[in-house]
Chain A
Amino acid sequence: MDPADILALPRATLEAEYLEDVSLRRLVLEHYDQEQIPLRRYLAFLGLDDDTARELVQESFLKLHEHLLAGGDRRNLRAWLYRVAHNLARNAQSVAHVSKTDPLPDVLSSKAASIEDELLERERLERLRNALGQLSAAQRECLALRAQGFKYREIADVLNISVSTVGENIQRGLERLKELV
């Protein structure tokens, strides 16, 4: 066998690995573009300040990259990402000794048709914000993930609780909000 052939064999393998690395990196960046803003909002909703939320979101995506490089499961990467971010947030909060009744973030009013509509919208969101502060952390988390479009099974996966508990938290949370708003 020609020596050049011997050297070419591992090179072909390496090129395949290289292309795989590039494709995984692209996959992570696609998820980053789609999810980093909603994920930061979710972490802010959990009570993290913007800088911490930003840092933890980046860390979550880096972990996603590691997960993919290690040949991890690629099914429902969105739920995987939220689970990692959620756990990182909880760890950060426990290290910082943040209380469970963190103030919810301020919100920007959406694009209303008139100043009057905008004021009404802002008032409505402010009432909702205060009402959310009256819920348990578990209820708030379930409702926040539901508002991000997750199914009950996925919420259970993210929060590591049962699907029936997710259903209960959502129902009780909404009933309480209905009373308060």
Chain B
Amino acid sequence: MEHSLIVRSSDQIIFTSDQHWLYPLFELEDYLEQKNLTTQDLILTDKIAGKAAACLIVRLGIKQCHIELLSERAIPVFKLHGISFTYDHLVDHIQCRTEDLISDKMSIDDAWLFLRKRAGRVQGLSVKIDKLSVRIEDKLVINQLDLEMGRGEQLVIHGANGVGKTTFLRAILGLIPVSEGVIKVGDYLVGSNLWKQFRSVIGYVHQETIKNNFPISAGEVVQIGLGTTSVSKSENEYRIEVAMRRTGSFHLVNQPYLTLSGGEKQRVSLARCLCQNARVFLMDEPTSFLDPQGREDLLLLLHELSRNEAPTMILVSHEQNWTGQLDWPRKELKGGKLC
């Protein structure tokens, strides 16, 4: 087989890839999405497939495949989802760390998301914080704090009121000076000249205090995300529309921001971050002023974001009941450190 992946439709080759690991399958995903093709009648031929590849094949919706070298671990996945498969050689497992990391508890969607992150096919940037200390008026609020997050990962930080959660986020944003330590977002060192140019990679959704009475429409708030980007009016409108549709707030585009409910404002704020093309989202008590429906909507929206754009997300909140439903890793900020 000259290509690592071949896809046929009615005996005609419609897609090939020579990439390695799981990349051919991700390329195929892009191709199918671009061409808007149905996958039911496609036949996929892959050189090697383990459990990870099997999960991706299932998620692509392909029903028939032939694998040259197949891992036994892939078979239950194929059988469970009714995939018709053949193979040339069967082995116990393939030499790939990724196959070991896909647990049986993971759903196909979970595995897909995990693999996307591992393949770097997420919007998020890594966050690395090393021995961060922040003083506010002689009080050491953050004390030698360390944190490492991979691309597209999520984290909930909880802690009592006044413990320094907001200060921590503001330090990452570069809004307050740090006394000691280093914050790195992707390749950007917060505070450096390079970061000053690219600081819009971090989107900020702060506590909604409803004190702002500035006459501005929801669409104009989203437009703020474009920052200093100079684009044509039509491109401008297109970006705003895409971002607002993503967060289900496009119907609010012309409404005065002041008249929106708490939940609608949060949707608009997240759309602003998407319009900004932010790759790290920092959310400070986003449920403040949200009614039960607003909280439910926000939960769904964050789930959706983590599955699609998959930005790296840090959410701080003191509401443990609500954040518990997010199913994100959690840390507590206590004594200026994360534990």
A binds B: no
